[in-house]
Amino acid sequence: MIRVFVEGIGLLGPGLNGWNESRLILSGKKNYASLPAELPDCDLLPPPERRRTVPAVKLALAVGIEALFHAGREPSESVTVFASSSGDGETVHQICEALATPEREVSPTCFHNSVHNAPSGYWGIATRSHQPSTSLCAYDASFAAGLLDAAAQTTADGCAVTLIAYDLPFPEPLQTACPIGAVFGTALVLTPNATPRSFARLGLEVTKVRGKTTRLTDTGLEALRTTVPAARSLPLLEALSSGSPSSVILDCHEDFRLYLDVFSC
């Protein structure tokens, strides 16, 4: 079993505006109401790059910076893992539209933003980070895959790693082919050892069909969990908000599960 510690969390989604506010909802102290998420511009980016950012980049940077601010760490100092089930659907849509015209001229900005690691590149520009960064995709299990990768790097390299998971709906007709229910992003700052800023300890283990996937009692949050791959993180975030020891089971690859023990520090 891999063991890591949590120092910071970032969260942005419908009705979930930042971790400090959202933890009250996830712990049951405040009712959940689904409201559209507003994506802020990243003030750390120079104006030319800021103008070129797409919603996926804004979302990833917003939750990542919030998590590191919560942890009291400089964003430039953390290794990062970016996880998304589908990347930037808006850019894919624009490229498909361009390729369907007689000219087939793809905008250089669209081409620039189309790669899966575009948020990682903007992160490096915004934070001036020279730390290693990984960008991965595992369809609906992207959050679980990202969490495993981040925890493994944290343990193997003995350093802080920030996991940033995000997903956004596609424009039509791609949305029909690959439906994603809402804008949702979250980030976790993980460390190999406890620090004065640690507030939780996680134990991670991949198992084959060991129990059912953890579900949420709130119907609105459960609908969000089932319709957005990055929101598969919600049972873990709910456990972290409660401060009580608990176990969480997330879907992984095929008939495998990611089993998590959650303890407060």
CA 51, CA 250: separation in Å to the nearest integer? 37
Q: What is the pLDDT of residues 137-178, one digit of tens each?
A: 999 999 999 999 999 999 999 999 999 999 999 999 989 988
Task: Write b or e for each residue in 240-263: b if 16 or more Cβ atoms lie within 10 A of its Cβ, otherwise e.
Answer: bbeeeebebbbbbeeeebbbbbbe
| Contact by Cβ (8 Å): 21, 66 | no
| Contact by Cβ (8 Å): 173, 93 | no
What does each C-alpha distance from 149 to 26, 112, 167, 201 come to in angstroms?
25, 26, 18, 17
User: Which residue type, as a one-letter code, is found at position 189?
Assistant: V
| Contact by Cβ (8 Å): 132, 244 | no
What does each C-alpha distance from 84 to 146, 147, 201 come to in angstroms?
9, 12, 24
Instruction: Output the pTM of the full model.
Output: 0.95
| Contact by Cβ (8 Å): 195, 248 | no
Our CA angle for 214, 220, 223, nearest 5°, is 60
- Could you give the angle at which helices 55-71 and 19-26 cross, rounded to 10 degrees? 80
Instruction: Provide the pLDDT confidence category of residue 233 given band limits of 50, 70 and 90.
Output: very high
Domain ranges of the chain: 9-196
CA 205, CA 119: separation in Å to the nearest integer? 28
Mean pLDDT of the chain: 94
Q: Is the peptide bond before 14 cis (omega within 30 degrees of 0)?
A: no
Residue 210 pLDDT > 80, yes or no?
no
Q: What is the pLDDT of residues 101-147, one digit of tens each?
A: 999 999 888 888 889 999 999 999 999 999 999 999 999 999 999 99
CA 228, CA 16: separation in Å to the nearest integer? 14
| Contact by Cβ (8 Å): 110, 98 | yes
Q: What is the pLDDT of residues 30-81, one digit of tens each?
A: 999 999 999 999 999 999 889 888 999 999 999 999 999 999 999 999 999 9
Tell me which CATH code domain 9-196 carries: 3.40.47.10
